[in-house]
Amino acid sequence: MDRLIYTALNALHNQRDANITQAQNLANLNVPGFRADRDNPGHTKFLDAMDQANVRAFQLEKGHASFSEAPGFIDKTDEWLDVAIPDQGYFFIQDDEGGQPALSRRGDMHIDNDGFLRNGANELMLNPQMAPIQVPAYRQIVITEVGEILIEPVDGAPGEQLNIGTLGTVVPPEGTLQKGDDGQVRNINGTIPQADQQAKIMQGALERSNVNPIEEMLATIENQRNFEVGLKMISTTKEIDESGTSLMRAPE
């Protein structure tokens, strides 16, 4: 009887993980460029007892955490510091604590008090050499399709343009990326690919997250129902076990 209970508990554990993934996706529904998380692939593991296979089987996760690389909807904002990659590709970013650079699709940029270019998560935007980009005071700023940042300096002549840097981008091969423990996108081995400047950039636009709220809500409802079925199975198993115990009890 305990085999049935262990099977039900394993199913509840997997459904809990799925609920966490769906909650994470829904919480980031309005984050520009967010990539929806997916459940890890799994395999069946049979317990061993005295070097022989046991009928108790568990569904275990394997492989790296995957995410959807489908592009999100592009919103036109006409803001100079809003950029989006409409097709494949990623920007290079780095957090404030000097951690390893990572990849991101988030393009809602701003300039901090020190003149450095950051995205909406306050992460530094990096150039192809993995260095932060500092933007001097300007009257106008233009970001080209290849990521070049051209400004009209405040103290420059009318119409003068100055190239002050380039947004680093890369189009990595499909299936080579994963999200790490910090939630950042990198190669499966934890490194980052070399910048190739192959991504096409749109200025004055933002990409929404690629989370499908209807799909996530339906999956949440289905998982909740399956969770209730698992709890009911455990409760029924308890009743069956108690009934069997009472049949074997000596008459009073």
- DSSP for the chain reads -HHHHHHHHHHHHHHHHHHHHHHHHHHTTTSTT---B-PPPEEEEEEEETTEEEEEEEEEE-SPPPB--PPPPEEE---TTBEE-SSS-EEEEE-TT----EEE---B-EE-TTSBEE-TTSPEEB-TTS-B-B---EEEEEE-TT-EEEEEETTSPTT--EEEEE--EE-PPTT-EEE-TTS-EEETTS--PPP---S--EETEEEPP---HHHHHHHHHHHHHHHHHHHHHHHHHHHHHHHHHHHHSPP-
101 & 45 share domain: no
Q: Are both 92 and 201 inside the same structural domain? A: yes
Domain hosting residue 149, numbered range: 74-207
Is 88 in the same domain as 203? yes
Dist CA 15 CA 4 (whole Å): 17
Q: Do 96 and 200 sit in the same domain of this protein? A: yes
pLDDT over threshold 70, residue 45: no
Separation CA 214–CA 70 (nearest Å): 16
- Residue among 30, 79, 64 nearest 208 (CA): 30
Together in a domain, 59 and 101: no
User: What band does 92 get if pLDDT is binned at 50, 70 and 90?
Assistant: very high
Q: Residue 78: pLDDT above 90?
A: yes
Residue 54: per-residue pLDDT = 56
54 and 80 both lie in a single domain: no
- The reply to whether 193 and 120 lie within a common domain is yes
**Closest by CA position to 185, among listed 243, 102, 117:** 102
**17 confidence band (pLDDT: 50, 70, 90):** confident
Is it the case that residue 62 has pLDDT exceeding 80?
Answer: no
**Quick one: pLDDT at residue 169?**
96
| Residue 64: predicted pLDDT | 65
Question: How many Å apart are CA 185 and CA 189, to the nearest integer?
Answer: 11
Same structural domain, 158 and 194: yes
Do 160 and 183 reside in the same domain of the chain?
A: yes
Number of domains composing the chain: 2
**Mean model confidence pLDDT for the chain:** 84
If asked whether residues 95 and 150 sit together in one domain, one would say yes
> What pLDDT, on the 0 to 100 scale, is given for residue 51?
56
Distance of alpha carbon 216 from alpha carbon 24, whole angstroms: 10
pLDDT at 25 over 80: yes
Same domain, 85 and 203: yes
Question: Domain boundary at 174, 190, 207, which?
Answer: 207
Query: Do 105 and 180 belong together in one domain?
Result: yes
For the residues 61-77, what does the mean pLDDT come to? 82
